[in-house]
Amino acid sequence: MSTVVDERLRRLRNELDDHARIADRLGLDLARPLRSLNDGYPENAVALVGKLAEKLLKELWRYHEIEGDPATKALNDLVKRCRPYIRSSTVLDALDDIRRLRNRSTHDGYDISDEDGLLAVRRLVDVLVWFTDTGSVALLDGEPGMAPEVARRCEFLAGLYLTLGYRQAKRFVLSRDTVYQLFCRESGVRLEYVELMLSQDADDLSTVLASSGGELLRTRLPKLTRFVVLDDDCGNPSDPLRQLLGGDFRIVRYDGFLDTIVNLDNHLARVASVVAPVEPRTVVTAATLTTDPRTGEAGVEQSGNAAELLSRLAQGNANVLVTGRPGSGKSTLLRSLATDPEIHRFRFYFDLGLKPKDEPFSEYAGRLVAPALAPSDRSRAFDLFLYLIRSGTALCVLDAVDEGVEESSPAGFLRLFTDLAAVLSAESAVVMSSRVSFLADSPQVRQLLDSGAGRSEQLVEQMYANGLDPSRVPHFHVVRLAEPEATPLEKQLVAVLDLPPGQRLADILGAHITRTLAQRGRPDLEARLPAAFGHAFLSDQTVFSLLDLVRRLGAEAFADGRLDLDACVLGPLLRPAGPDHVALAHSAYQELLAARYLTDPSHQDEAAGFPGGVFLTEQVRAFLAGMPSRLRTDDCVLPSGAYLVGPAERLLIRRVRHPVRFDRDAVTVARYRRFLNALETDGTSRWDHPNQPADITHRPVINRLRRPDYYENSCYDAHPAVCVSWWSAYAFAAFEGKRLPTALEWEAAARGNDGRLFPWGDAPDGDRVNCADTWVGRPVVTYQAWYRDFAGDALRRAWVTPVGERPGNRSPFGLLDMVGNCWEWTSTSPDDSGEAVICGGSYDNPLRATQASSKGIYRKNGASNAVGFRCVQSASDESSTCGTEEPTT
């Protein structure tokens, strides 16, 4: 072994000696890994460090009374379950390193070097330093005779200074209620000291100091910062104590001590100025969607006052996701919560809508918290933030999480949760807001936010693939703000603009933009705004420098040649977003401008060609759907062009390159019967797909049909052809000289060029759709409601109905029954070529699941009473008109 390694071993041995108290109490042989290293067996040293870490974590497990028996748990499980109870990022990183090295040595066949063994011991020392220097009662069992509350407070303050880079130099228990602590930190070539005397009893502190003749107060240490930390119940310190302390000490209440390190009021100052009440706020009603962690059953609780509901949940350290449409008051509620001193001792607020997409949350949060710290501590801002929220007495508000994702998709939200994992796994309360209903409605993300209730193995694997430990995502209550006729934002602007009630949000925002520019004498600038802000929105830019505004709008966007926010003609529409940077006052303004930009077909086509694609918000789509539609025909032809497709959480713009003529209706029994008459004796045909399996027959599977005589009885002639496999649908389409549509073509034909939710528009209308709500007689909201109200008697009665029976279920191109009644096959296959995409929903789905964007995956050889199909062909072939012609044979 080299001299360098010998020297490092000697230093580690000396450092381990400092933790003899933990070793004696838990029966740990801390020198054993070093002996293995000295003997040339680094792999044994790594394994032994892993065992020692397990013993420490098992003790932590028992102390915090974590559910289950730690005796049978391996290191990986111990780290996962104890993580929420470890405040130090250094300790968590050290445990992760020990776990990684141990896994390499034990499972991965990795050659362990002396360097790996030394690293494992070094990381074990980092773990021990934290618990020894904080005097943690979890592993040290407290100081003899010390009051439990004093021990807890000493541990918290010691951890606070260790997080800031200090080490504990001295610690004396002076009495049951009084403790002396001294911390030291290197700062360049000098040392910085902090001296604390913490007491729960001011009289006891006076007695202790007087008994030593004040010897403890006389120190020659340089650059000394000296505090006396007193319990809030101590009252005013007596004059003798003040005289004894002299002027060297600052007397601070325990609950206010953090203010000597970080000024959280400074952090929240901008938020507080926004929520300063100028008039009584509108009371917002809400509904709470939560899941019983034991049964997995969802329930809805109505609340007449969302602010009181949020306050109650936050005070109980609950985690909450607040959803609601733009202007519903989410940000106002969250800002008020963050600035309410009655909620939690430590409060933080982060607007993720202003976070650059490529900036990790750790850097963003550190950047926002740093100005509240002394310059020497700002580099540790994020570590301090994490320490405080892991204390269990903090509130972290994450506003606009839907605007913080780099990609609105399940994978995108999982990556965001991965970035936020350290925050989400804290013991303190986390309150998030999002306009995207996907966060509340998606089964996957509901499972993600329900802390394991009903999580599928597929979701767990996906979480691990995105670097997210499922055990680190806690349960979230979902609070949905009510959708009244007018939201607080709409009411506020209507009053300011003196508009008649009942205006649409798009008209209200448009009127505000128009009046603002007119009052500033620049009405001509409004025509430039869609290209300036709408185009930027498509490329994910929501924050602009003042120079950006000059480049996009010209120098005339600023009065008197002054480049500042007050001089900008758009001033009332903007909010500050950092030094010399601004964002629109509400994201809905920029979304409206993006929708205006996209009304030009050439701009939609341009957006479809953006590298990596363009992701739109649901509000952009809603604004666009509310604008006059450019295309509305009755010829069943889908023109070539760019279309909005995808669910609310992943709206995309995609091109349909060639015009396509659709069947007006799903293929009926009568049409399919003609195909049956043309089959070979074995049930196959000359129109079969070349890869069709040998055992496929196109004849109906009678024992699967709800009506055995379905294809024989003429009373079903106008019903859709169901219980038809993908192979049969393909062959039938070829039989008629057609093909199956792609999933993109199908959705574009159902939604039109404005991306509407339903073929007829955005407003849900159960009378137009054959769906579960129709058979139940009322809206079906949750899975439990579907199972309770539909899966019994209603399911026995429910089935497909004749095509064309609901003429109101019509797309902008004249297609009928594109949602509900039965799912429809498409030619699109996912990664598994044995499956295909089906679209539109069916009679047994709730109305909210039978939208134009609804898709599913079904095996190609499957045959279901809820799956049918329709055909398409090139629009240049004029031999057909909407799928009612005789077949081409």
Provide the 3-class DSSP secondary structure of residue 220: coil
Q: Give the model confidence (pLDDT) of 740-778 as tens digits.
A: 999 999 999 999 988 999 999 988 898 999 998 888 888
The span from the CA of 136 to the CA of 376, in Å, is 27
Q: Give the model confidence (pLDDT) of 164-175 as tens digits.
A: 999 998 888 888
For residues 449 and 293, is the Cβ–Cβ distance under 8 A?
no
- Which of residues 257 and 578 earns the better pLDDT score? 257
Element at 265 (helix H, strand E): helix 264-267
Which residues have a Cβ under 8 Å from the Cβ of 275 and sit 6 or more positions away? 332, 335, 336, 339
Q: Give the model confidence (pLDDT) of 678-719 as tens digits.
A: 999 898 999 999 999 988 999 988 888 988 899 999 999 999
Nearest CA among 129, 222, 237 for reference residue 178: 237
Average pLDDT of the segment spanning 77-86? 85
pLDDT at 40: 87
**Cβ neighbour number for residue 128 with a 10 Å cutoff:** 24
Element at 478 (helix H, strand E): strand 477-481
Element at 796 (helix H, strand E): helix 793-797
What residue type is assigned to position 730 of the chain?
A: Y
Q: Give the model confidence (pLDDT) of 194-243 as tens digits.
A: 999 898 888 888 888 877 666 666 766 766 788 888 876 665 666 667 77
The span from the CA of 467 to the CA of 360, in Å, is 14
- pLDDT band at residue 667 using 50, 70 and 90 as cut-offs: very high
Domains and CATH numbers, the chain: 3-140 (1.20.120), 148-260 (3.40.1350), 264-481 (3.40.50), 488-598 (no CATH), 661-874 (3.90.1580.10)
Average pLDDT of the segment spanning 453-475? 56
pLDDT at 56: 94
For residues 226 and 173, is the Cβ–Cβ distance under 8 A?
no
Residue with tokens 């100091």: 209
- pLDDT band at residue 474 using 50, 70 and 90 as cut-offs: low
Q: DSSP string spanning 814-846?
A: S-B--SSSSEEE-S---SSTTEEEEES--TTS-
What is the distance of C-alpha 662 from the center of its chain?
39
pLDDT at 238: 64
Q: Give the model confidence (pLDDT) of 576-603 as tens digits.
A: 887 889 999 988 999 999 999 999 989 9
pLDDT at 323: 82
Q: Which two tokens stand for residue 381?
A: 């801002």
Average pLDDT of the segment spanning 378-400? 92
For residues 450 and 293, is the Cβ–Cβ distance under 8 A?
yes
Nearest CA among 455, 390, 526, 515 for reference residue 83: 390
Residue with tokens 């809400």: 286
The span from the CA of 584 to the CA of 572, in Å, is 9
For residues 863 and 729, is the Cβ–Cβ distance under 8 A?
no
pLDDT at 437: 54
Q: Is the pLDDT of residue 452 over 60?
A: no
pLDDT at 885: 41
pLDDT at 448: 43
Q: Is the pLDDT of residue 887 over 50?
A: no
- pLDDT band at residue 51 using 50, 70 and 90 as cut-offs: very high
- pLDDT band at residue 347 using 50, 70 and 90 as cut-offs: very high
DSSP summary character for residue 882: T
pTM, to two decimals: 0.75
Average pLDDT of the segment spanning 34-52? 90
Angle between helices 42-63 and 89-106 (to 10 degrees): 130
What strands lie across the sheet with 835-839, from one edge to the other? 855-859, 835-839, 823-825, 867-868
- pLDDT band at residue 280 using 50, 70 and 90 as cut-offs: very low
